[in-house]
Amino acid sequence: MGEDLDKLKIQVNNLNLWYSSFQALKDVNASFKERLITAIIGPSGCGKTTLLRVFNRMNDLVEGVRVAGTVMVDGINVIAPDTDLMTLRRKIGMVFQRPNPFPLSTYENVVFGPRIHGRAGKNELDDIAEKSLQAVLLWDELKDRLDKPALSLSLEQQQRLCIARLIAVRSDILLLDEPCSALDPQATQAIEELMRGLKNNYTLIVVTHNMQQAARVSDETGFMLLGELIEFGETDQIFTRPRDKRTEDYITGRFG
Amino acid sequence: MRRLKEFVLQKIVLLCGVASILFVALIFLFLVKEGLNVFKAVSPSHFLLGRSWYPISEPAQFGILPLILGSLLVTAGATVISVAIGVACAVYIAEVARPAVRETLKVGIELLAAIPSIVLGFIGMVTLVPWVKKIFHLPTGLTALSGSIMLAFMAMPTIVSIAEDALHAVPRSYKEGAYALGATRWQTIHRVILRAASPGIAAAVMLGIGRVIGETMAVMMITGNAAVIPHGILQPVRTLTATIAGEMGEAAVGSEHYYALFAIGTLLFVISFGINVTADLLLHKRRS
Ligand SMILES: Nc1ncnc2c1ncn2[C@@H]1O[C@H](COP(=O)(O)OP(=O)(O)OP(=O)(O)O)[C@@H](O)[C@H]1O
Ligand SMILES: [Mg+2]
């Protein structure tokens, strides 16, 4: 696995994005390595969410979006118009700021993805549900209550469940958009731990407002400002020896 | 002076509020009081389950089962048709249509609601009835099916607009969650959005049906008005409402026939009330 660690999973080249006439991403270049956690930090409105949503093409849902540049995921340009979005989104899963389980049972939430992708055997689904919930450390807690509505779970459990949904469709890249901002400190810590554990098998990109969190969990960090990626590098370096004055100002709390 | 005015106004408003409840209560009491008299002539089980309705022959028979079945058949048919079309239409408006199309459709639906029911009935009589006759090779097009289609049109505006509200109220995050898992638009609609909106949609259907179950004239015009137990949707039927409308004029005040019509009225009142209360409960469940 040693040499695998440096394989590039996502390569972003000259990425520009406009919401109608407003340019939200400006010439972004970055590489995301396989099986690492990369954090994206920056003040509110700088385009973190927008960048994340380029990777799984969720921006397509917004009217008037225009994208230029390339985003290579495993060597394939996902910006290309002929990209199969169903397959892409299955490969690149997304966790949202507020946990958003469907108003269905816990079990149905986990097997939602496999079901829509055509896997229907009861045994197979049971198996997927068990493995996925185990991966997010929910199985022992919930194995006797799989038919309870997912919305009755605690927020932390809901967020874990949302991650389990992605594991169930065998995503290999996980995009997490401020996954802990709705959680209390204890739950935040638990999710961070989970993220560290998932790193062995998945490539994680996490957007966060919380610089301590970025410093704690990530291997690499990108700092964005007004649509530009100002600095990108190893987390240690970004937080201890930032090259750009603006990065330094941000991480020392001079604005944000 | 000012305070006096306030006081008087306040009391008037209170009075209006109390009066409206009082009127409903009085109407119900009156219906029940008159209706119960019929049971001097016929037992409740014969009344509800009797298979013949011959109110003016000698001896008169007051079995309303054919009428109940007629109403049920027409309403059930209307429910199936209006739910299928109405929910599909609501989904189209809420989830698929472009904004311009959406606005046009909403106006169209509102216009449909504005057509007086008698006009619909009369258009149905000259267009729908001949079609039904021709398509199914029937001796007459005046059938339960014609009535169902007609009522479905009347229930549709209510169903579409309330169901559309319910679909609109489904949190965006559910939709995004489904898309982000690679679901297609159709999968998202039927596996997530429709399920999340189902209590509201059920309420929409109940309110739509509640609105048309008391519908009378249009139904009377096109269902053939035969008080016999129907064996299918392609036969003429007579509904509870049509019976009252058609016979009240000729029933002598205080006669058994007159009381029987009141008893039918009471039954209708109870059914509508039940449907509306259920719809209300469903809507409240959605809000809380
Ligand atoms: N659908 C949209 N239409 C138009 N402008 C948008 C849209 N979504 C985002 N924007 C704008 O694009 C910019 C970047 O937004 P984005 O949500 O990516 O920021 P962010 O860094 O995630 O902010 P936050 O930390 O508040 O989540 C903002 O100025 C925002 O106003
Ligand atoms: Mg954001």
Ligand 1 atom with the shortest distance to the CA of A46: 21
- Interchain contact, A169 vs B182, CB within 8 Å: yes
| Alpha-carbon gap, residue A110 to A117, rounded angstroms | 13
Give the largest Cα separation in chain A, rounded: 57
* Residue B193, domain extent: 67-254+265-287
- Domain holding A34: CATH number? 3.40.50.300
What's the pTM value of the predicted model, to 2 decimals? 0.81
Residues in Cβ contact with B113 at an 8 Å cutoff, skipping those fewer than 6 apart: B157, B158
Pocket lining: A123 vs ligand 1, CB cutoff 6 Å: no
Q: Output the pLDDT for position A1.
A: 41
**How many domains is chain A partitioned into structurally?**
1
Q: Which residues of A touch B187 (CB under 8 A)?
A: 116
Q: Which residues surround ligand 2, an ion (CB under 5 A)?
A: A 49
| Alpha-carbon gap, residue B70 to B86, rounded angstroms | 23
pLDDT tens-digit map of A107-123: 999 999 999 888 778 88
Inform me whether the pLDDT recorded for A97 exceeds 80.
Answer: yes
Q: Assess if residue A128 is contained within a domain.
A: no
- Interchain contact, A86 vs B195, CB within 8 Å: no
Q: Output the pLDDT for position A183.
A: 85
Q: Angle at Cα A203 formed by Cα A198 and Cα A209, nearest 5°? A: 85
Q: What is the dihedral of CA B238, B239, B245, B250, to 10 degrees?
A: 50
Closest protein CA for atom 9 of ligand 1:
A50
Name the residue facing B182 among A96, A117, A162 (closest C-beta).
Answer: A117
**How many domains is chain B partitioned into structurally?**
1
B171 has a chain A CB within 8 A of its CB: yes
Ligand 1 atom with the shortest distance to the CA of A62: 1
Closest protein CA for atom 25 of ligand 1:
A44
Q: Output the pLDDT for position B286.
A: 62
Residues in Cβ contact with A213 at an 8 Å cutoff, skipping those fewer than 6 apart: A39, A180, A188, A192, A206
* Residue A75, domain extent: 2-99+171-251
Distance of CA A104 from the midpoint of ligand 2 (Å): 26
Instruction: Give the other-Cβ count within 10 Å of B97's Cβ.
Output: 16
Q: Angle at Cα A170 formed by Cα A164 and Cα A172, nearest 5°? A: 100
| Alpha-carbon gap, residue A142 to A130, rounded angstroms | 10
pLDDT tens-digit map of B86-123: 999 999 999 888 889 999 999 999 898 898 888 988 99
Closest protein CA for atom 17 of ligand 1:
A49
Name the residue facing B173 among A61, A85, A100 (closest C-beta).
Answer: A100
Pocket lining: A49 vs ligand 1, CB cutoff 6 Å: yes
pLDDT tens-digit map of B134-153: 999 999 989 999 999 999 99
CA B146 to chain centre: 15
B197 within 8 A of B163, measured Cβ to Cβ:
yes
What does the mean pLDDT of chain A come to? 89
Q: Output the pLDDT for position B219.
A: 87
| Alpha-carbon gap, residue A214 to A179, rounded angstroms | 12
| Alpha-carbon gap, residue A39 to A47, rounded angstroms | 13
- Alpha-carbon distances, residue A220 vs A2, A55, A100, A205, A234 (angstroms): 17, 18, 27, 10, 4
Q: Output the pLDDT for position A2.
A: 44
- Domain holding B200: CATH number? 1.10.3720.10
| Alpha-carbon gap, residue B257 to B56, rounded angstroms | 7
Q: Output the pLDDT for position B288.
A: 57
pLDDT tens-digit map of A183-235: 888 888 888 988 998 888 899 999 998 888 999 999 999 999 999 999 999 99
Q: What is the dihedral of CA A242, A244, A245, A246, to 10 degrees?
A: -100
Q: Assess if residue B45 is contained within a domain.
A: no
pLDDT tens-digit map of A33-70: 989 999 999 999 999 999 999 999 999 888 889 999 99
Q: How confident is the model at residue A255 (pLDDT cuts 50, 70, 90)?
A: low
Per-residue pLDDT of chain B (288 residues), as tens digits, is 788 889 999 999 999 999 999 998 999 999 999 999 999 888 999 999 988 999 888 888 899 999 999 999 999 999 999 999 999 999 999 988 888 999 999 999 989 889 888 898 899 999 999 999 999 999 998 999 999 999 999 999 999 999 999 999 999 999 999 999 999 999 999 999 999 999 899 989 988 988 888 888 888 889 888 888 888 889 999 999 999 988 988 888 889 999 999 999 999 999 888 988 888 888 787 665
What does the mean pLDDT of chain B come to? 90
Name the residue facing A94 among B180, B183, B195 (closest C-beta).
Answer: B180
Pocket lining: A24 vs ligand 1, CB cutoff 6 Å: yes
Q: Assess if residue A239 is contained within a domain.
A: yes
Q: Assess if residue B4 is contained within a domain.
A: no
Pocket lining: A255 vs ligand 1, CB cutoff 6 Å: no
Residues belonging to chain B? 288
Q: Which residues of A touch B (CB under 8 A)?
A: 56, 58, 61, 85-90, 93-94, 96, 98, 100-104, 112-113, 115-117, 162, 165-166, 169
